[in-house]
Amino acid sequence: MGASRFLDELGRRVLVCDGAMGTQLIARGLRSGECSVLWNSDRRDDVLAIHRAYREAGCDLITTNTFGGSPSVLARHGLEERAGELNAAAARLAREAAGPSGFVLGDVGPFGDFLEPIGDTSVEQARDIFRRQIAGLIEGGSDAILVETMSDPAEAEVAVAVAREAGAPAVIATYAFQKSADGSFRTMMGNDVADALGRARAAGADVVGANCGTSLSLGDYAVLAGELAKAAGGTPSIIQPNAGSPRMVGDSAVYDATPEDMAALVPRLLAAGVRVIGGCCGTTPAHLKAMAAAVA
Ligand SMILES: [Zn+2]
C-alpha cells in the first residue's frame, strides 16, 4: 500500500470526478472534425480554463483532454507521430489545474477499430497503440490511467494490462452500457455488467464501473450503480452518468437534466455503494458543482 496517493485517498472518502470535456471545447470554438487533442498544444489556455472550472466546482479528479489521443485516432488528423508529446502535454495541463491535493486521470478512449476477428487490429497492434498513448500520459504526471467508454471487454483488458505494465500508479476502467430489451444493462458487444467488470478487474484495474451510456435515464443510472457496486466486489466502483437521456435536435443530442436533477441522483448513487462519482455527456461545471456539494 501507499504506492498510489489516489487509491489511499479513495480508501478514505468518496471522490468526485469531473464532467464532459467535448461540449466545453465546442463552446470555446472547437469545430466539427477538428482534432480536440491538438488543443493541449495549440489552445492550452482554453483546456486549462476548463480543467480549472471543474476543479473550482469541487472535482477531486481532473481528466486529461485525450479521449481521442491514441496514435490510431490521431492518425486521422496526420498527428500520429505526436501522440507521446500531446498526451504528456495534456497530463501536464490537468496537473496544473488539479494542484497538489487533486488527482490527474490520464484519459484513454477506444482506439477506433475493433479487435480481430470483428475488426482488423490484432491484440499486439492494440497493445502498441495503447502503450504509446499511456507512456505520454504517465510521463506528464497522471495519478491514474482511466480506460473509458469501452464496449468490448477484450479491448479494455488490453488497455488495462498495458497501463499496468507501463507503471501506472493506478488504473480505472469504465464501460458504456445500454439497456437491452429484457431490461438488463449490456455493452454494445452484449456483455453484462458482471462479465465486463470482472474482466477489467482480472486484467488489473483498481477501480471499475461505467461512464456515458446509450439513452439511460437518471433512474436507470441509479439501478446501474447498484449493479456496478455488486459486480465490483471488493474493488471500488465509479459511475459517470450523462445529464439524463438525450433528445435529438437536428444532428445534435441535447441533455436536459439540470444541476439540481444530477444532485438529486447523488444520494442514490452513494447508497448503491459507488465510490467515485462524475459526469459524462451533457454535464458542465455547474452540474459537477451541485453533485460535489451533494457528495459533501
Ligand atoms: Zn458520454
pLDDT for 9-40, tens place per residue?
999 999 999 999 999 999 999 999 999 999 99
C-alpha 43 – ligand 1 centre gap (Å):
23
Question: Is the per-residue pLDDT at 2 higher than 70?
Answer: no
The rounded Å distance from CA 211 to ligand 1 centre is 6
Whole-number Å distance, alpha carbon 121 to ligand 1 midpoint, is: 25
**Overall CATH class of domain 5-295:** alpha beta
CB neighbour list of residue 244: distance below 8 Å, 6 or more residues apart: 217, 218, 255, 256, 257, 261, 282
Assign 264 a pLDDT band (cuts: 50, 70, 90): very high
Rounded distance, CA 161 to CA 202, Å? 9
- CA distances from residue 34 to 29, 40, 91, 281 in whole angstroms, order as listed: 10, 13, 20, 19
Q: Alpha-carbon distance 156 to 153, whole Å? A: 5
Tens of pLDDT, residue by residue over 66-94, are 999 999 999 999 999 999 999 999 999 99
Q: Distance, CA 182 to ligand 1 centroid (Å)?
A: 23
Distance 67 CA to ligand 1 centre (A): 11
Task: Identify the three-state secondary structure at position 112.
Answer: coil
Report CA(280)–ligand 1 centroid distance (Å).
4
Query: Distance, CA 240 to ligand 1 centroid (Å)?
Result: 8
DSSP letter for 31, please.
P
Percent of the chain residues past pLDDT 90, beyond the cut: 98
Ligand 1 mean position, distance from CA 140 (Å): 24
Query: What amino acid occupies position 294?
Result: A
* Torsion angles phi and psi, residue 171, rounded to 5: -135, 130
pLDDT digits (tens, 9 = 90+) for 130-169: 999 999 999 999 999 999 999 999 999 999 999 999 999 9
| Residues with a beta carbon under 5 angstroms from ion ligand 1 | 212, 280-281
* Cα 2 to middle of ligand 1, angstroms: 32
Cell (9 digits) for 150: 469501452
174 with 144: CB under 8 angstroms? no
